[in-house]
């Protein structure tokens, strides 16, 4: 397919295949070999597509180190959002066609964090698959910023996370639920006496204990760091993890007190731990995001509705 565009009265012909090559090259970290494998073609073929596009534009789209692509040039960075928008429209057309022919079958890719996938979504996934047994549901776990980029670039239909999703105008966000952190300690810990009491422990006292919490960029960690910093405190973070289960395990082992998301506290799995609700680090909102300029499959819309109804039923 060719797209004919007139720019400054000069005839410019860009093939859709050339734009697809740019998109897949960026998505695959500028690794032409990997992009070629996913496109079921050769690396040399992709190189020719890129060369043809750069010849049309009379400018380099990619920066290079020798023969290796290393990033996007200024014009490449300017082109990328438009290329992504073109393929968002193509996906919309494809989704309309698929829904018209068989609205009950297909693939839905949801990009989310470990916390959402492990502690929040199991009930939704079960309900969804009961309602749409012929749909292949794929859960991709990543950090919030990567989740946003996966939705923007069409690698995921839906993104679910707390941070980053609202920071991009390309995404349309639906409110999911609000949450706070809790402090978890062993039942024989000196703080256990205030378990269940909101803010039963103040920040200076928290900072006096070794702390186990999330890795940077995950589940409100930036807010935790900022709160201590603004209070002039320097807590000792002895362990940072992506997984609340890991944090709970090491708190049980006596390495320190834990700070985790409230939905990740599992008293059944960790009967030796108790939780202290805290508001020191703020209130957070988890969001469900899709591209604002394209439509997902109808069953994707149903997945979002199930999520939004989840906390209304509580």
Residue pLDDT, tens place only, 250-301: 999 999 999 999 999 999 999 999 999 999 999 999 999 999 988 999 999 9
Read off the pLDDT of each residue in 101-107 and give the average, rounded to a whole number: 94
Residue 88: pLDDT band with limits 50, 70, 90 = confident
- pLDDT at position 165, please? 83
CATH of 2-83, one of 3.40.50.700, 3.30.559.10, 1.10.260.40, 1.10.10.10: 1.10.10.10
Question: What is the edge-to-edge ordering of all strands in the sheet holding 106-112?
Answer: 135-141, 106-112, 158-161, 284-291, 171-179
Read off the pLDDT of each residue in 145-154 and give the average, rounded to a whole number: 90
Share of the chain above pLDDT 90, in %: 71
What value does the mean pLDDT of the chain take?
Answer: 91
- pLDDT at position 313, please? 57
pTM for the full predicted model: 0.81
Pair 244, 272: CB distance under 8 Å: no
Q: Which residue has the higher pLDDT, 10 or 190?
A: 190
Q: What is the DSSP letter of 166?
A: G
Read off the pLDDT of each residue in 97-120 and give the average, rounded to a whole number: 94
Same fold, 105-178+285-310 and 181-282: yes
Residue 11: pLDDT band with limits 50, 70, 90 = low
Topology of domain 181-282, CATH: D-Maltodextrin-Binding Protein; domain 2 (3.40.190)
CATH of 105-178+285-310, one of 3.30.1490.100, 3.40.190.10, 3.30.360.10, 2.60.40.180: 3.40.190.10
- Please give the Cα distance from 253 to 304 (Å, whole number): 38
- Please give the Cα distance from 74 to 185 (Å, whole number): 51
Q: Name the β-bridge partners of 2.
A: 15
Residue 40: pLDDT band with limits 50, 70, 90 = confident
Q: Where are the domains of the chain?
A: 2-83, 105-178+285-310, 181-282
Burial class (CB in 10 A: 0-12, 13-18, 19+), 298: middle
215-261 pLDDT, tens digit per residue, is 987 888 999 999 999 999 999 999 999 889 999 999 999 999 999 99
- pLDDT at position 279, please? 95
């Amino acid at each position: 397919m060719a797209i004919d565009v007139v720019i400054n009265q000069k005839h410019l012909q860009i093939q859709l295949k050339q734009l697809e090559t740019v998109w897949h090259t960026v998505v695959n970290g500028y690794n032409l070999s990997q992009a070629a494998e996913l496109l079921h073609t050769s690396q040399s073929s992709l190189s020719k597509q890129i060369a043809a596009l750069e010849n049309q534009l009379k400018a380099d789209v990619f920066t290079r180190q020798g023969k290796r692509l290393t990033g996007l040039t200024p014009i490449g960075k300017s082109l990328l959002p438009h290329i992504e928008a073109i393929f968002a429209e193509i996906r919309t057309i494809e989704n309309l066609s698929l829904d018209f022919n068989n609205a009950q079958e297909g693939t839905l890719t949801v990009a989310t964090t470990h916390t959402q996938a492990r502690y929040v979504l199991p009930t939704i996934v079960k309900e969804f698959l009961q309602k749409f047994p012929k749909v292949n549901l794929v859960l991709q776990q990543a950090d919030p910023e990567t989740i946003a980029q996966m939705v923007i670039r069409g690698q995921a239909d839906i993104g679910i996370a707390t941070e980053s999703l609202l920071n991009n105008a390309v995404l349309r966000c639906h409110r999911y639920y609000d949450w706070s952190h809790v402090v978890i300690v062993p039942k024989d810990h000196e703080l256990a006496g205030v378990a269940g009491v909101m803010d039963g422990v103040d920040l200076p006292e928290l900072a006096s204990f070794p702390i186990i919490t999330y890795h940077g960029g995950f589940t409100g960690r930036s807010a935790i760091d900022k709160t201590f910093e603004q209070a002039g405190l320097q807590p000792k973070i002895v362990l940072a993890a992506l997984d609340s289960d890991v944090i709970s395990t090491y708190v049980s082992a006596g390495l320190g007190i834990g700070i985790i998301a409230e939905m990740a506290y599992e008293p059944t799995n960790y009967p030796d731990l108790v939780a202290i609700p805290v508001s020191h680090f703020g209130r957070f909102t988890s969001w469900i995001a899709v591209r604002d300029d394209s439509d997902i499959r109808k069953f994707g819309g149903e997945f979002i509705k199930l999520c939004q109804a989840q906390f209304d039923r509580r």
